[in-house]
Structure 1
Amino acid sequence: MSDPSTASIVSTPPATMPTEAGSGAPVDAGLPENARKEKPRGLLGDAWRDLRRKPLFWVSAALIVIFVLMAAFPSLFSSGDPVNGALANSQVKPSADAWFGYDVQGRDVYARTIYGARASIVVALISTIGTLLIGGAIGMIAGYAGGWVDALLSRFADIFFGLPFVLGAIVILTTFNGAESSNGEWQIMGLVIMSLVVLSWPVVMRLMRSSVLATKEADYIVAARALGAGHGRIILKHLLPNCLAPLLVYGTIMVGSFIGAEATLSFLGIGLKTPVVSWGIMISEAQNYIRVSPFLLFFPSAFLVTAVLSFVMLGEAVREALDPKLR
């Protein structure tokens, strides 16, 4: 005679065990409902799921959206004239009529601060895009080709990498910006963008090169090469998508760095110049009046620091989300 408890265990399959194929019941019938509905995610999906939980990401993203809107549509934030002013209002302190006061020439500091975001952010964004394209392309070629091509491009990048940033910018801008009065606003901005790209692309090149060297011997690259895939397909289909994550992180941080770099060059008098309105120019004009009118320096500096920190914090949040070791 068999034990009844043993017989019941043998005759009744557990509810959580997957049934045989063809029985009509799903294999994951014993799993929780949310686990059955959840689809597998890739690297970007996991990163986005992690970013949504970070307050730092939302704060920095909200500030960046505000600065971008400020640069694209400054009239939404201020109806004042950032260029023309009345000398009767020279150095008038902040009040209800002028929230940030007036500068030495009687111009509205609030309007100039709002409109100053355009030049600073446009220069930073275009410089970042140019740096990523040039440095990323050269780094991809160097890392994928290897051999003498890699050695030649790496030594060429070392020449630019060894140039001090401020000294190199001074040489480039003073050489190509000799006739200041003949250069328009966009010409001056173009020269500043060129100097930033020329002095910054080697860092991106090294970053992309190291990513390609670590990825090009992966199993899926070797399999694609064995199946007869060409170099263009391997680079565009396999290497590039798997090497973009470090560049996205560095590019986000680079925007904030370029905003500060543009302000530094304008403060030194070799970057953007009047009649262009930028935070660096405002800080340069306010340095001689810091004791009698400190608000002339405080407000553009506060906007500059906030913009730089917003992009840097966003880059740090993205870096933590894309790096599995930091989760």
Structure 2
Amino acid sequence: MSNDTLPAPAPEQPAKPAKERPPASLWSDAWYDLRRNPVFIIGGVMISLLIAISAFPGLFDTVGVDPSTCSLAQARKGITPDRWFASDNLGCDVYSRVIHGARVSIVVGFVSALVTGFVGGVLGLLAGFYGRWVDVILSRVAEIFFAIPSILGALLILAVIGRDNAGIGSVVMALSLLAWPLILRIMRAAVITTKHQDYVMAARALGAGPWRIMLKHILPNAIAPVIVVSTINLGAFIASEAALSFLGVGIQSPQISWGLMIADARNRFLEAPLPLLFPALFLSLTILSVVMLGDAVRDALDPKLR
């Protein structure tokens, strides 16, 4: 057979380009890692569920018992079809109170984390950028608050306020007042490191003003450690609220709090353990989910751990 009769070779198919990662940056790399981290997924699902419970407790309170309705005839009764988590010492439905008590813990934790992150972040940005007397004054004020133990200081503040005036706002104020100096120190250190980078020097040479440099060039590159610490602090604030309510200076009746439920059930724990175990279990799961979320965010945003 001659070469003229041979079939023409099939044209080569171009190879499909491999799927590439998004363009490299701190935030894109962090989100790329978080989406593939099972710890972040589990913690995020648990936190999302708790936020949904706190925002819409009626959707999860399928028993239909009013958490503020108590009957001494039902005191310390075990689990029944209409009382899934038994009854407490006053005959209140534990399940309904656990569902409605999630709102206090979630609100106190998130608001305290946002307040401390904002106040400490702004003051740390100013101290690290301007330095000199601004840094000296803010750092000395922060050291004064650092000398006060957080729980002891919050206990003293709420005791001075009094039980009649205690509530979610008072607890948030007491916790935030003693927690912002940590955020200030972290932001200050990150700003001092960032403001000597070449892109900041170039922006300054091009005539950019101090506020433009702080907000556009320094803040986006220095805020990552603040986000990590604020996420971890969220669990600490939830635990602190429960501890203050347990000690009798935090949330007061008729408001519902997991710490308050644990305090009310501790005297009859051996006789009726369920009214204490269920709010303690929900509190532990909430703190665990926040810790898992914080660890995943820290691993994603800290370049040293890559």
Aligned counterpart in structure 1 of residue 86 of structure 2, from 82, 85, 101: 101
What amino acid is aligned across from residue 18 of structure 2 in structure 1?
N
Does the alignment pair 1:132 with 2:132?
no
Question: Runs of 4 or more off by more than 6 Å in structure 1?
Answer: none
What amino acid is aligned across from residue 52 of structure 1 in structure 2?
R
* Aligned-residue CA RMSD (Å): 1.7
Does the alignment pair 1:287 with 2:270?
no
Distance (Å, rounded) in 2 between the aligned partners of 1:137 and 1:146: 14
Counterpart position of 2:227: 248
Counterpart position of 1:71: 54
The Cα shift of 1:323 comes to 1.9
- Report the TM-score, using the length of structure 1 for normalisation: 0.86
Distance (Å, rounded) in 1 between the aligned partners of 2:107 and 2:21: 41
Aligned counterpart in structure 1 of residue 126 of structure 2, from 115, 137, 141: 141
Superposed, 1:189-200 pairs within 5 Å as 189-200=168-179
Distance (Å, rounded) in 2 between the aligned partners of 1:191 and 1:242: 33
Counterpart position of 2:4: none
The Cα shift of 1:109 comes to 0.1
The Cα shift of 1:148 comes to 1.9
What amino acid is aligned across from residue 32 of structure 2 in structure 1?
R
Aligned counterpart in structure 1 of residue 182 of structure 2, from 203, 210, 219: 203
3-state SS, counterpart of residue 76 of structure 1? helix
- Structure 1 unaligned regions, length at least 5: 1-14, 16-29
Counterpart position of 2:43: 60
The Cα shift of 1:38 comes to 5.3
The Cα shift of 1:40 comes to 1.5
Distance (Å, rounded) in 1 between the aligned partners of 2:44 and 2:65: 27
Counterpart position of 1:173: 158
What amino acid is aligned across from residue 48 of structure 1 in structure 2?
W
Distance (Å, rounded) in 1 between the aligned partners of 2:28 and 2:270: 52
Larger Rg: 1
Counterpart position of 1:49: 32
CA distance 1:56–1:39, change in 2 (3 Å): closer
The Cα shift of 1:124 comes to 1.0
Does the alignment pair 1:33 with 2:17?
yes
Counterpart position of 2:144: 159
The Cα shift of 1:31 comes to 8.1
Distance (Å, rounded) in 1 between the aligned partners of 2:194 and 2:65: 53
Does the alignment pair 1:272 with 2:251?
yes
Distance (Å, rounded) in 2 between the aligned partners of 1:196 and 1:59: 28
Does the alignment pair 1:262 with 2:241?
yes
CA distance 1:121–1:290, change in 2 (3 Å): same
CA distance 1:39–1:136, change in 2 (3 Å): closer
Q: Deviations over 1:283-310 (max 9, x none)?
A: 1101101110111110000000100110
- Structure 2 unaligned regions, length at least 5: 1-11
Superposed, 1:214-225 pairs within 5 Å as 214-225=193-204
What amino acid is aligned across from residue 61 of structure 1 in structure 2?
G
Distance (Å, rounded) in 2 between the aligned partners of 1:51 and 1:310: 15
Percentage of matched positions with identical amino acids: 48
CA distance 1:60–1:148, change in 2 (3 Å): same
Distance (Å, rounded) in 1 between the aligned partners of 2:108 and 2:22: 41
Counterpart position of 1:123: 108
Distance (Å, rounded) in 2 between the aligned partners of 1:208 and 1:325: 17
Counterpart position of 2:135: 150
Deviates more, 1:273-282 or 1:243-252: 243-252
Distance (Å, rounded) in 2 between the aligned partners of 1:74 and 1:139: 38
CA distance 1:39–1:127, change in 2 (3 Å): closer
What amino acid is aligned across from residue 51 of structure 1 in structure 2?
L
Counterpart position of 1:112: 97
3-state SS, counterpart of residue 223 of structure 2? helix
Counterpart position of 1:92: 77
| Count of residue correspondences | 293
Counterpart position of 2:6: none
Q: Deviations over 1:189-228 (max 9, x none)?
A: 1111100010100000001001001101000000000000
